[in-house]
Amino acid sequence: MSAANPTLEPSTDSPSLPAARRAGATEKTRAKARFTAGAPDLLKALVEAERFFDGSVDHGCPLHQKILAAIDTVKGGAA
């Protein structure tokens, strides 16, 4: 092999700033996709937990309120 054609070696330089930003944005998109993919299961579990409070003496307690708020959050995030 001639010295005029050196073999390509992997670069040890860090990625450029725009490439790093794109990589970060891609990771955020993936994280959001993972979250929203689990939203139907989470919503189902929260609704089941909320049913526990129907007709209960504890209806409206702080835990029940947090479950209702979580249901609203998941519904907003999944839409």
**pTM summary value:** 0.47
**pLDDT value for 36:** 57
pLDDT tens for 21-65 read: 666 666 666 655 555 566 788 889 999 999 988 888 888 899 999
Angle at 53 between CA 51 and CA 54, to 5 degrees: 65
Judged by DSSP in three states, 58 sits in coil
Residue spans per domain, the chain:
38-79
The candidate with the shortest Cα–Cα distance to 74, out of 28, 25, 41, is: 41
The pLDDT confidence band at residue 74, using thresholds 50, 70 and 90, is: confident
Please state, in angstroms and rounded to a whole number, the distance separating the CA atoms of residues 79 and 77.
6
Nearest residue to 26 via CA among 34, 11, 1: 34
